[in-house]
Amino acid sequence: DSYGINGMLKLQQIASDNNWKIHNTQHFTVPKDLAQMDVSEELNVIKKSEARIIILNCQAGVARIVLKFAEEKGLLDDGYMWIVTDAVVGNQEEFTEKKVSKMAWNGMLGTLPSFRNNVDNMYHHYVVQYERHFKGPGSLDNYDLKQNAFAAMVYDSVFIFAHALNDYLEQGLGLTEMKISKQYWDYGKKLFANLTKVDYNGASRRYTFNSTGESQNIKFSIMNFQEDSTFKEVGSYEPGFSQMRCEDQNCSRVQFMGGADPRNKRGAPLHLGTAGDVSRVAV
C-alpha cells in the first residue's frame, strides 16, 4: 500500500542525501498460506551482500517468519541489526504469538509514532477515557495502552478537526449540505485554511501544520525488543536532531542483537540492506 511504499522511498531519499549506500534490496511474495512462505533465496542474497543493518517492512505475522529464516542463516548474530516498522511494533501479539520469543530476536529495533505527551494533561484525559470505554481501570503504565499509538492519534485527530471547525464558525462562516453531484465542497478551502492554523497539544504530541497541511513537530518513539518478548521504549527521534534521544543518560537500556557490546562497534563499517513484501515495497 502507499503507506509502506512512501516509507521505503523516503528511506532511499535519506540514504541518497547522506551518501549512504544501500547494498541490497530484496522483495518477497507473501502467499495466502504463510506456512508455505520461504524467503531463503532473498536472505541468501542479503547475506552475500554483507549488509549489516537490515530494514524489514512487512506485517507482523510475516516478520515472524522472516526472522525465523534469518536466524537459521546466522543473520541475527552479533554484528547485525534489524529494524522493523510500526506494522510490527504496533501488533506485538501477532508478532510473538503471545509466546516468549527466542533470545535471537533480542536487540531488534523498531519505531512507533510518538504515543505519549507528558507536557500536557490531554494525554491523561485520553487515558481516562480509553480505560473507561475499553480497558477498565488501570495505571498509566498499562502495556497495551502504551502500544496503542494509533488510538491516541485518532483521538487527537478528532480534537484537531473540532478546533478548526470551531474557529471556522467563530469567523461567521456558515455550512450547508453538499450536493453529491458536485466535485468539491464550497467551504473546503476555508476550513482547510483553519486546519493549517491549529496549534494543539494533544495526547500523543504537539500538532502544528504548514500551509500545505503537512504536520510539523513530528516525533517517533524508538523501541527495542528485549528479554521479556516485548518492545520497550528506549528513546525518541525528531527530525532536525542528528541522533536519537535516549530515555536514560547513557543509553544503557538499549540492547543489541547477539548480546553485542556497543562499545566494541565504534568505528566499525556498517552496510545497509532492505527487505519487504512486494505489496508494501517499491524500490
Compute the C-alpha angle 179/183/185, nearest 5°: 60
Domains of the chain: 2-114+219-277 (3.40.50), 122-207 (no CATH)
Contacts 24+ apart (CB under 8 A), 132-135: none
Whether residue 249 has pLDDT greater than 60? yes
Give the whole-angstrom CA distance, residue 194 versus residue 216. Answer: 15
Instruction: State the average pLDDT for the chain.
Output: 79
pTM here is 0.74
Whether residue 235 has pLDDT greater than 80? yes
Task: Kindly state the average pLDDT of the residues 164-171.
Answer: 91
Instruction: Indicate the pLDDT class of residue 283, thresholds 50, 70 and 90.
Output: very low
Whether residue 160 has pLDDT greater than 90? yes
Whether residue 277 has pLDDT greater than 50? yes
Give the model's pLDDT for residue 197. 94
Asked whether 225 and 108 are in contact (CB, 8 A), the reply is yes
Q: Which is more confident, 184 or 215? A: 215
DSSP letter for each residue of 110-137: EEEE----TTSTHHHHHHHHHIIIII-S
Give the model's pLDDT for residue 45. 92
193 residue type, one letter: A
How far is CA 252 from its chain centroid?
22
Give the whole-angstrom CA distance, residue 99 versus residue 228. Answer: 10
Condensed to tens digits (0 to 9), the pLDDT of residues 100-138 reads: 666 788 899 998 877 777 666 788 888 787 777 766 555
Q: Which is more confident, 71 or 10? A: 71
Query: The cell 518492545 sits on which residue?
Result: 231
Q: At what angle do helices 149-170 and 122-130 cross, to 10 degrees?
A: 120
Range with the poorest average pLDDT among 24-28, 83-87, 135-139, 225-229: 135-139
Give the model's pLDDT for residue 213. 87
Give the model's pLDDT for residue 102. 66
Q: Which of 197, 198, 194, 189 is nearest to 171 (CA)?
A: 194
Give the model's pLDDT for residue 154. 87
Whether residue 271 has pLDDT greater than 60? no
